């Protein structure tokens, strides 16, 4: 598209809570695993410089806050960025919106939604 956004309205950038109020706030709790964790680690550290990234064996535990239009878009942008560094990367993520709604994803697929 002309303004640099894709069809889903994403700019391809993963937002953090420090980047302003562009959309809703979400709390992310995720497990990231990859066939080459050493390739994914620097990307996670860059994206979540203000969050928490902990390595446990061959996977990473991520806790962070992010802003965006919706959890689906944030999840998609995050996984796409991780897969640029290693194609065989898996993401199990729970996004909690500022209204208390939780959405769980495995890779790009929404698995569960729970409302307060």
What is the reported pTM?
0.80
Over 80: is that where the pLDDT of 13 sits? no
Torsion-angle region of residue 88: left (phi > 0), alpha (psi -120 to 50) or beta? beta
Q: What is the pLDDT of residue 14?
A: 57
Does 73 fall in a domain? yes
Q: What is the pLDDT averaged over residues 89-112?
A: 97
Task: List, in order, residues 6 or more apart from 8 with CB less than 8 Å away.
Answer: 72, 73, 76
Q: Residue 66 has which token pair?
A: 């992010």
CATH number at residue 61: 3.30.70
* C-alpha to C-alpha distance for 58 and 75, rounded to whole angstroms: 21
Does 35 fall in a domain? yes
Q: What is the pLDDT of residue 58?
A: 86
Render the burial of 87-112: b for 16+ CB within 10 Å, e for the rest.
eebebebbbbbeeeebbbbeeeeeee
Q: What is the pLDDT of residue 93?
A: 98
Q: What is the pLDDT of residue 22?
A: 65
Q: Which domain holds residue 89?
A: 17-114
42: phi then psi, degrees, rounded to nearest 5: -65, -35
Domain count, the chain: 1
Give the DSSP letter of residue 31.
E
């Amino acid at each position: 598209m002309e303004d640099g956004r894709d069809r889903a309205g994403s700019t391809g950038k993963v937002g953090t809570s420090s980047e302003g109020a562009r959309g809703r706030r979400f709390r992310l709790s995720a497990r990231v695993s990859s066939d080459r964790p050493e390739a994914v680690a620097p990307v996670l550290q860059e994206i979540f410089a203000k969050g928490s990234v902990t390595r446990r064996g061959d996977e990473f535990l991520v806790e962070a806050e992010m802003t965006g239009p919706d959890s689906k878009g944030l999840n998609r942008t995050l996984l796409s960025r991780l897969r640029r560094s290693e194609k065989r990367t898996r993401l199990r993520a729970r996004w909690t919106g500022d209204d208390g709604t939780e959405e769980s994803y495995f890779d790009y697929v929404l698995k569960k939604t729970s409302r307060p």
